[in-house]
Every structure is written in C-alpha cells, then in structure tokens.
Amino acid sequence: MGNRGHWRLRKFYESQVEQILGLLDKQFKEGQLPLDTYLDICEQKGIEPDPNEMPPTMGDFPLEVQVAFYCTIYYQTDGME
C-alpha cells in the first residue's frame, strides 16, 4: 500500500532526465552560438527570439546539474594541480 505513488515519481524522474539530456544536447551542439550573439542577431534582423531556439544558459539547468558543472570546472582548473 505504501508504494502507490511510486510510478508517479518514476515518471517524474524520467521526464526530468529527458529534459536535462535535451538541454545538454542543445548546450554542446557543435556550432552553437552564445546567447548574447543569438539575441544580437535577432535584434539586427528585427525578429522576436524563439525560446525553443535560444541556447541554454546555466540557469536553465536544474540546481544539481549546475553544481556538477561547477565542480567539474573547479577540479579541472584549481582543485587538481
């Protein structure tokens, strides 16, 4: 009886993982423009930026993923000398 909502948690977890993997694919896609450049191009062309086409920023990722990025960057630069 205690595991009634277990499938809901599993479904939520799977949707979160899918969203994160999509953001990571978008972040590290070859030829990806920085956000500032994308916004400048949209402004020059006079078009509204499309949120689905915008490159993700660090704030778009869940906190756990942000921490993992920062830990990796720290250990690659300062922590492992």
Q: Pull the structure tokens for residue 20.
A: 């994160």
Residue range 41-68, pLDDT digits in tens: 999 999 999 888 888 888 888 888 888 8
- Per-residue model confidence (pLDDT) at position 44: 95
Number of domains in the chain: 1
Residue 31 in any domain: the answer is yes
Residue 38 in any domain: the answer is yes
Q: For residue 21, is pLDDT > 60?
A: yes
Residue 54 in any domain: the answer is yes
Domain that holds residue 46: 6-79
Angle formed at CA 52 by CA 50 and CA 58, multiple of 5 degrees: 105
Give the percent of the chain with pLDDT over 90: 12
Residue 1 in any domain: the answer is no
